[in-house]
């Protein structure tokens, strides 16, 4: 539950509005039994947290061993507030497939096609529009398109079938923008003066690292599930991109000059900015107590536990929350979905522009609330988002 009493009060949510947002609208649970890895039964989920600003409900499909109904529900809830903060006409949804993300491509295709087949009514009706998340990418979105043959049913597709240029790097681009705003407004400096550690070198972490490196930041540490590396002179991100093409997650084991460090210790490095961009719940109370970064920018969804967040607040370490920092992906998905509906074509610079505008507008609003009421950025982002949800529900006659 992302709402607390303070946010409910500041967003002026009535008991009825709170009751509507408290529980998920709909949870769908099913199993895949055919053509699954080693004949296993694969548990699958689709959750709509809130349809106040939808349908469609928007949020990615996660494919990972750690997927559960609880996690999918929590991630759908995050999408409700992210979509609302960005002012998008989307409810919050999430898909989950509980299986390893490192399956052979053919097996991954069978699993994702089976998933899409099972939720076909949700896709055809436009109730749920999926996108990539942990363990899925453009190839899997293409597999979904192969089931529906309707461009607006899925975003994050390859460009040739209606994807838009700039979508695959959109989340990283947005994180770079958010990091720049936070750096100027909170640290009173420029990104080019700073050192950064990034956890996760998948879609989000790799593009975030690349964009920040281009801005002149020194990326001193990156990691994947296979290992973490450190180079005080800065890691050559372009080279890591290249080696990732052949080695996947093992790219962090092959990087020249960089020193191998214990996985997880990248979170505790003495850097200016820490960007967790892998999985959830990694900044625990213990990690938060030992964390040395001056600013945390949440690239992943829910990387900080509630207890970890409390410690960071007590230690005055500012956190740019996930619903603001990593919203570039869903903003670009909105542009793709809108283009699919209207038949218009989007250029890469337009994708970047729409992300930049949305992140800046939302961040300005969040900074205003945070400064005026003297609350941390996470609470301020939730207040802005919940206020917009309240107005939407009022407009629909729900409250």
Which amino acids are annotated catalytic? 94
Strands 273-276 and 227-230: unpaired
By CB under 6 A, name the one of 13, 134, 295, 355 that touches ligand NAD: 134
Cα-based distances in Å from 301 to 189, 239, 278: 26, 27, 8
Name the one range near ligand NAD by CB under 6 A: 133-141, 182-190, 305-313, 387-395. Answer: 133-141
Binding letters toward ligand NAD, positions 83-102, x by CB under 6 A: ------------------x-
Q: Does 297 bind ligand NAD (CB under 6 A)?
A: no
In the bound state with ligand NAD, the residue whose beta carbon lies nearer, of 79 and 127, is: 79
Q: How far apart are CA 52 and CA 97, in angstroms?
A: 25
C-alpha of 163 from chain center: 18
Name the one range near ligand NAD by CB under 6 A: 109-117, 212-220, 297-305, 379-387. Answer: 297-305
Q: Does 253 bind ligand NAD (CB under 6 A)?
A: no
Give the containing element (helix H, strand E) for 61: strand 61-63
Closest CB 310 distance from ligand NAD, rounded Å: 21
Closest CB 326 distance from ligand NAD, rounded Å: 4
- Residue closest to 187 by CA, chosen among 282, 319, 310, 382: 319
By CB under 6 A, name the one of 154, 269, 278, 312 that touches ligand NAD: 278
By CB under 6 A, name the one of 223, 305, 351, 358 that touches ligand NAD: 223
- Residue closest to 200 by CA, chosen among 187, 219, 183: 219
What dihedral angle (degrees, nearest 10) is formed by the CA atoms of 60, 317, 283, 50?
A: -30
Distance linking the first and last C-alpha atoms of the chain: 20
By CB under 6 A, name the one of 80, 155, 203, 358 that touches ligand NAD: 203
Q: How far apart are CA 330 and CA 318, in angstroms?
A: 24
Q: Using alpha carbons only, what angle is made at residue 186 by residues 388 and 364, rounded to the nearest 5 degrees?
A: 25
Q: Does 135 bind ligand NAD (CB under 6 A)?
A: yes
By CB under 6 A, name the one of 130, 321, 329, 339 that touches ligand NAD: 329
Residues that bind ligand NAD in the complex, under the rule CB under 6 A = 60, 101, 132-135, 171, 199-205, 223-225, 249, 263, 277-279, 299-301, 326, 329
């Amino acid at each position: 539950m992302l709402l607390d009493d303070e946010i409910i009060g500041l967003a002026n949510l009535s008991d009825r509005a709170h009751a509507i947002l408290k529980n998920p609208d709909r949870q769908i649970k099913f199993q895949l039994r055919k053509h699954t890895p080693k004949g296993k039964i694969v548990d699958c989920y689709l959750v709509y947290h809130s349809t106040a600003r939808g349908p469609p409900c928007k949020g990615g499909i996660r494919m990972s061993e750690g997927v559960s109904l609880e996690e999918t529900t929590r991630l759908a809830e995050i999408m409700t507030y992210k979509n609302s903060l960005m002012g998008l006409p989307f409810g919050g949804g999430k898909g989950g497939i509980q299986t390893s993300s490192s399956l052979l491509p053919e097996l991954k295709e069978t699993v994702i096609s089976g998933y899409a087949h099972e939720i076909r009514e949700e896709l055809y009706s436009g109730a749920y529009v999926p996108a990539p998340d942990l363990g899925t990418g453009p190839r899997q979105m293409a597999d979904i398109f192969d089931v529906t043959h309707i461009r607006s049913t899925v975003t994050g597709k390859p460009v040739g079938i209606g994807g838009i240029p700039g979508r695959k790097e959109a989340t990283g681009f947005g994180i770079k923008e958010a990091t720049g705003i936070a750096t100027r407004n909170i640290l009173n400096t420029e990104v080019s003066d700073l050192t950064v550690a990034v956890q996760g070198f998948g879609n989000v972490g790799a593009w975030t690292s690349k964009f920040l490196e281009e801005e002149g930041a020194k990326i001193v540490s990156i990691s994947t599930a296979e290992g973490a590396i450190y180079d005080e002179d800065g890691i050559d991100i372009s080279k890591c991109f290249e080696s990732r093409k052949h080695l996947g997650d093992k790219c962090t084991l092959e990087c020249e000059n960089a020193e191998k460090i214990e996985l997880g210790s990248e979170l505790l490095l003495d850097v200016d900015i820490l960007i967790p961009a892998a999985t959830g719940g990694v900044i625990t109370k213990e990690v938060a107590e030992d964390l040395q970064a001056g600013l945390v920018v949440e690239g992943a969804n829910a990387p900080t536990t509630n207890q970890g967040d409390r410690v960071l607040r007590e230690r005055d370490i500012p956190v740019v929350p996930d619903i603001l920092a990593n919203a570039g992906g869903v903003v670009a998905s909105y542009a793709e979905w809108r283009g699919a509906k209207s038949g218009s074509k989007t250029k890469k610079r337009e994708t970047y522009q729409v992300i930049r505008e949305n992140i800046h507008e939302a961040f300005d609003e969040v900074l205003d609330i945070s400064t005026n009421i003297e609350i941390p950025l996470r609470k301020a982002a939730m207040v802005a988002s919940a206020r917009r949800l309240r107005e939407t529900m009022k407009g629909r006659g729900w409250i």
